[in-house]
Amino acid sequence: MAVGVFDSGLGGLTILSALERRLPDVPFVYLADSANAPYGVRTPDDIYHLTTAAVQRLFDAGCDLVVLACNTASAAALRRMQESWVPEGKRVLGVFVPLIEAMTERQWGDNSPPREVAVKHVALFATPATVSSRAFQRELAFRAIGVDVEAQACGGVVDAIEEGDMILAEALVRSHVDALRRKMPDPEAAVLGCTHYPLMEDAFQAALGPGVTVFSQPSLVADSLADYLERHPDKIGTGEAAFLTTGDPAQVSSRATQFLRRGIQFTAA
């Protein structure tokens, strides 16, 4: 049995780590589309076709449920996949909804009309493709009214993290926060809308200041998946735990080991 976890690169390992801690008895198959990363600068059609190909590979590996641990894929491809592509008996979940539910203090499955919430000014930090999709704002509008969202496309941050250049990544974070503040001087909350960004959470918090609540996804997604599997135990699947990549397995394994600070061995997808 196994649950699939997909990301364009290594950022989804932040989600995977939280899932493993929350669900220690569930094996996961992680697939990184390293050969085509990053997704954040691609067109919506490119992202859709790459994501469906990757998810199909996870279905073929015995996964009945796949988590898109990639905000760009969740933003640009998930709705289209769910409406016209996902095979019967399979399920694909994204990472936006658990985050928005936490920010708006709504329980999973709460389908009541959108309402006023405590947070009124939200900064969204994400990839260019996620920002242009406006998927976060769309999902938020289903649950809350009166929330002003200012989005900042954080070009270069994912590339710096994937290359292991954290000094550059921190400098880029500060630059992007400065740019956001020129548009929204006093955000109350900040959403880290990319699964790479939890690795830079301290840098975002330092740049934003202690008065801004930073929402990061890993633990929220893990709690949401645990709740989902409790209600749908049949979706755990039949595969075995594995790490797969479309890139060079040795190179990706080395970077992933640095990323999580534990040994990880990828094989070719």
Residues 6+ apart with CB under 8 A from 229: 3, 23, 26, 65, 235, 236
Q: Is 63 a catalytic residue?
A: no
Give phi and psi for 75, each to the nearest 5. Answer: -75, -45
**Contact assessment for residue 256 and residue 9, using Cβ atoms and an 8 Å cutoff:** no
| Distance in angstroms (rounded) separating the CA atoms of residues 10 and 261 | 13
Q: Which of 31, 70, 129, 244 is catalytic?
A: 70
Q: Which of 194, 236, 256, 264 is catalytic?
A: 194
- Closest by CA to 154, choosing from 195, 95, 120, is 195
Q: Is 194 a catalytic residue?
A: yes
Whether the bond between 210 and the residue before it is cis, its omega within 30 degrees of 0, is no
Catalytic site positions: 70, 194
